[in-house]
Amino acid sequence: MNAALAVLWLHLAVAWGAPSHGRVTWTKLPPPERYADMNAMDYYDVLIAGEYGKVEKVVRRVRVQVTSGDVEDMDESYAALQETLTTAKSRLEDFPPWKDETTVAEAIVAAYDTWHDIAQKERDDAFELTVQAPLSDKDVKKFEGVRKKLDADWAKSNEAVRKVIDGYAADERLVFKEKTPTDPPEPFAPELPTSGSQLAPAVWVAKAIAYHNALHSDTEKLVATLNGAAAKMNSPELQAARKEALEAIAEPLTDAKQFGSLGGEQTYRDAVVAYGEWMVGQLEGPLKEHADLTEDGAIEEEEVETLNTISDALNAGAVEHAEAVDTARQDFLKRWHVEDYLKWRKAQKKR
């Protein structure tokens, strides 16, 4: 048996980067007696720009982590955000009023409670759908429904507090220097086969990567299983190895068969399934014949040609199916612009 079956599969290296973890670096609040001497801008700087502003920035950072397709450690980030919100709320429990002004602090605390609740919904309703590989477009559509509702909740979550803050600034006639606007992150927006979807293209590609990685893992298991049995060819151990391989190959093949179309197309999935089914046929047919002929450890001269024919056909079939899977895989990655997406992600981390 030569090395034709030792097919090397390239892993898709997705550099997600470090999660934000939703944490804030807190500074010490002024002592209560200081508030009597504050003016309206001082109070704004401490309560709104300092306390609320820091937390709002962390909320945005965690949200961008999800909408950019970066889902690694997402649950940890939302859990850390909830801890931050609990701490932030406790810091304002005894926050002294300024000129009997309490509405701003009360509105900020209410916003913290709302964000905490939505973060919990993210963990309860969206986390598993976000990180798991979609089996088909149906799974993505289900995820999109959950995502659409949560995104709407986030969008309106700080409307009330912003209204109160703007009212406070207007009442106190606070004038702010206009900050030089910074360019927003450039969106990842290639032409994708996702007509009618409201999910961001980056989220779709992240889903495609998860779909790819699941099928890629199944393929590796299939190849390793057949290689393990093939390594016992010309050995009395082939019969037992063949039977073990038939049992072991069922798990990755069954898993691959669960997948359907993504973006209306499933060529990659079909190629993996065809590869696995061909392997089962080889284990049940030619490799069984090979095992029967070599089981007693003695090979007759007239059996050599038959054994060589089986071996050559096995190698040729393995190469043919491996190339078909790899072609389908490369087409899949191009179709979903995975290379462009990874370059975009890398560029965003440098901003």
**Looking at residue 222, what is its pLDDT?**
97
How confident is residue 304, by pLDDT bands cut at 50, 70 and 90? confident
**Looking at residue 185, what is its pLDDT?**
65
Lowest mean pLDDT among 44-58, 177-191, 203-217, 306-320: 177-191
Distance of CA 243 to the CA centre of its chain: 36
Indicate the DSSP class of residue 262.
B
pLDDT of 17 higher than 80 = no
How confident is residue 338, by pLDDT bands cut at 50, 70 and 90? very high
Q: Tell me which residue has tokens 């509405």.
A: 103
Q: Give mean pLDDT, residues 286-290.
A: 93
Distance, CA of 129 to CA of 133 (rounded, Å): 8
CA-closest candidate to residue 306, choices 322, 294, 297? 294
Burial letters 25-50, b for 16+ CB under 10 A, else e: eeeebeeeeebeebebeebbebbbee
Indicate the DSSP class of residue 187.
P
**Looking at residue 350, what is its pLDDT?**
65
Contact 335, 265 (CB under 8 A): yes
Render pLDDT for 198-252 as a digit per residue (tens, 0 to 9).
888 888 998 999 999 999 999 999 999 999 999 998 788 999 999 999 999 999 9
Render pLDDT for 73-85 as a digit per residue (tens, 0 to 9).
788 889 999 999 9
Calculate Rg over the CA atoms of the chain.
Answer: 30
